[in-house]
A and B are shown apart, each in its own frame.
Chain A
Amino acid sequence: MSIEITGLTKHYGETRAVDGISFAFPDEVQVLVLIGPSGGGKSTLLRLLGGLELPTAGGVAMNGTALPATEEGLREFRRRNGFLFQSFNLFPHLSALENIVLPLVTVHGWQRDEAVVRAREVVARFGMADHVTKRPAELSGGQQQRIALARAMAHGPDLLLLDEPTSALDPEMKAEVLDVVAELCEAGQRIILSTHEMGFARGCADEVVFLANGRLVESGKRDSLFESPQTEVVRSFLGRVMKW
């Protein structure tokens, strides 16, 4: 996909979560990774890109088409994509399988039996076939994230948006979720991901955007950004997070 962002701004009252960001990736980007310090605007930018929020000012265009400016239009846009948050994605009153089947049936208009077949297929792909009848409370954090990822993937989204999908997990569970995301990257899925996992970002990203204080600090191909950062902010951030 190509992405063009011009003067994108999102204010919550006095807080300038995203403050006039512009960048353009005119060529095909399969995996775009957002990095930077916490509170820097990664989540907000991801929500704007995913059509979960309307910007205060500025706009986003993907593949040459501007994102809709109405709630109805954005809902249609969101339906074509898949979203995964840090945690608490799943509906606790439904089984893992129902969590995946429900959107397929109610949002995407599938027949129930084909939705069940599809849900089982995706769950098996993510190594969760034995857990389909469990409620979220019976699953570990990593398993919950894999089911949530299966739900985000089940309808075959154009674009997958992942908002720090492993931040709430311990290292072992992080690995099990990142394995699945890495597999999706290799399979050619278009992904926009915000993360603190620099090793993972470096392995998967085509393009990287570094945000701090709601502003774009640096952006570019992963090799140039990770190996020869142009700004002191990025250099010292990478120095600190890569140290351990």
Chain B
Amino acid sequence: MKYAVSIFVSVILAATFCFVIWVVATHDYRWEAIAPYRWNLFSGWWMTLQISAASLVGSVAVGVLLTAGQLSGHAIPSFLCRVFVEVIRGTPLLTQILIGYYLIANSIGWDSRFGVGLVILSCFSGAYLSEIFRGGVESIPKSQWLSARAIGFTGVQTYRHVVIPQAIRRVLPASAGQFANLIKDSSLLFVISVHEFTMQAREANSNTYATFEAYLPLIFGYFLLTFPISLLSRHLENRFRYEH
């Protein structure tokens, strides 16, 4: 029975996959229309790579801060971090980008689209990461905290030597998923005219009406960024593996 199910699933998936490839591959493309825009697309991809990489680092920093705030045991920072996370997670990124750039950054006279985009993406993704991190820390069994206390570890030593090394393994898969989302979410920065990958594809499309030719490169371009993260995450999961 199990055998039959696995054959059935394999056949369905393989057939669907072949069908999709066939449909996409046999379309009548006008690549020559989009050819003059290839460097624009590449520079967009490069911009996406830069802003994603910077936001990835930024979002980890924001995520760690928000997690620390929530787990600090002090009512006020814990409450404020909670509110921040709920507001960021509960509202559209598009609106956050608009308000962040045109209202907030503008009011303090900051005009770097890249910089503002970086901060907003870091906050947005950091809010999600902080929930993943908090879940990871809270999943460490009470017995581990008790052992650490009995040994005489301070709070900082407990986190450093006991909790974080075990939590990292547990938060890796979900964090990798969040990083992939972050890369794709960076496409929304078009609303403040950051010339990233998707914006370049939109421009190429509106100039040529070669829609598929303009947007298909996005598939490869984004996959080229997200897949290595997936590989790295698996590699690290194995490295931090300790149970059998």
Contacts and interface: CB of A to CB of B under 8 A. Distances in A.
A151 B152 CA distance: 12
A107 B242 contact: no
A90 B147 contact: yes
Nearest to A148: B147
A78 B152 contact: yes
Contacts of B153: 103, 106-107
A137 interface: yes
Nearest to A108: B152
Q: Please indicate which of the listed interface residues A76, A78, A103 has the most CB atoms of chain B within 10 Å of its own CB.
A: A103
A88 B143 contact: yes
B-side interface size class:
20 to 34
Contacts of B147: 83, 85, 88-91
Contact of A52 (B143, B149, B161): B149
Nearest to B142: A88
B154 A75 contact: yes
Nearest to A95: B242
Contact of A93 (B141, B157, B242, B244): B242
Contacts of B242: 92-93, 135, 137
Contact of A138 (B146, B149, B152, B244): B244
A40 interface: no
B244 A137 contact: yes
A102 interface: yes
Q: Please indicate which of the listed interface residues A50, A88, A151 has the most CB atoms of chain B within 10 Å of its own CB.
A: A88
Contacts of B243: 92, 135, 137
Contacts of A138: 244
Interface in A33-53: 50, 52
A91 B149 contact: no
Given A85-B146, A88-B144, A93 B152 contact: no
Contacts of B211: none
A-side interface size class:
20 to 34
Interface in A133-147: 135, 137-138
A103 B151 CA distance: 7
Given A52-B150, A92-B243, A85 B143 contact: yes
Interface string A68-105: 00000001101100010101111111000000001100
Q: Please indicate which of the listed interface residues B141, B143, B240, B244 has the most CB atoms of chain A within 10 Å of its own CB.
A: B143
Contacts of B154: 75
Interface of A: 50, 52, 75-76, 78-79, 83, 85, 87-93, 102-103, 106-107, 135, 137-138, 151
Given A85-B147, A91-B161, A92-B242, 20 more contacts: A50-B150, A78-B150, A78-B152, A79-B152, A83-B147, A85-B150, A88-B144, A88-B147, A91-B147, A91-B162, A91-B166, A93-B165, A93-B166, A102-B161, A106-B161, A107-B152, A135-B243, A135-B244, A137-B242, A137-B244
Interface of B: 141, 143-144, 146-147, 149-154, 157, 161-162, 165-166, 169, 240, 242-244
Return the 10 tightest CB-CB contacts between A and B, nearest first: A79-B152, A83-B150, A88-B143, A93-B242, A103-B151, A78-B152, A107-B152, A137-B243, A137-B244, A93-B165
